[in-house]
């Protein structure tokens, strides 16, 4: 089980620059690509129809960008836990990813700011597969500081 249930989540009081994000390994299958495309309501045939993808010059169907940002956010909050709020996610797209590939997400804390009961973290990360970096990116996450009561988001 990942840190998504709150166990093993980082202690906001001691998070520091250089802390590693718990790696995430994703075995990419056709089922996973199609499931992600449809769950994000992206019906472009290149993400579910191999014949269409090959007619466009690709070797197989490939993961859509909305799935990429989804896996990045899962990677970050699996580590940071359910109190974390993702306030920024910026990705740069590298090589495509096809069925049979394995993606490994790795990252580390690159900045920490503590203010007004909130710990704001900057994170740099990448998802690498067999043929190179699929995604590189940066993100900002916010956690409540120990003992603080941050404003509810979204406001109720």
Residues of span 21-60 touching another protein by CB under 8 A: 32, 35-36, 38-46, 49, 52
How many residues comprise the chain? Answer: 156
Identify the DSSP state of 148: -
End-to-end Cα distance, the chain? 30
Answer for which of 21, 62, 78, 109 binds another protein (CB under 8 A) is 78
Considering the complex, state which of residue 18 and residue 54 has its C-beta at the smaller distance from another protein: 54
Quick one: which of 90, 68, 71, 66 has its CA closest to 141? 90
Considering the complex, state which of residue 124 and residue 150 has its C-beta at the smaller distance from another protein: 150
Q: Are 81 and 3 in contact (CB under 8 A)?
A: yes
Encoded one letter per residue, x for contact with another protein by CB under 8 A and - for no contact, window 84-123 reads: -xxxxxxxxx------------------------------
Radius of gyration of the chain (CA): 17
> What are the residues binding another protein (CB under 8 A)?
1-2, 4-6, 32, 35-36, 38-46, 49, 52, 65-74, 77-78, 82-83, 85-93, 144, 150, 152-156
């Amino acid at each position: 089980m990942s840190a998504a249930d709150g166990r093993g989540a980082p202690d906001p009081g001691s998070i520091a620059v250089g802390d590693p994000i718990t790696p995430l390994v994703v075995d990419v299958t056709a089922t996973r690509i199609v499931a992600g495309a449809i769950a994000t309501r992206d019906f472009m045939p290149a993400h579910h129809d191999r014949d269409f993808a090959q007619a466009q010059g690709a070797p197989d169907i490939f993961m859509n960008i909305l799935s990429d940002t989804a896996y990045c956010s899962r990677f970050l909050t699996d580590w940071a836990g359910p109190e974390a709020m993702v306030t920024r996610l910026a990705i740069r797209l590298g090589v495509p990813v096809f069925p049979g590939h394995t993606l490994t997400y790795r990252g580390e804390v690159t900045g920490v700011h503590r203010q007004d009961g909130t710990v704001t973290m900057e994170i740099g990360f990448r998802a690498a597969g067999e043929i190179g970096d699929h995604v590189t990116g940066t993100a900002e996450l916010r956690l409540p500081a120990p003992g603080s009561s941050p404003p509810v988001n979204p406001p109720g």
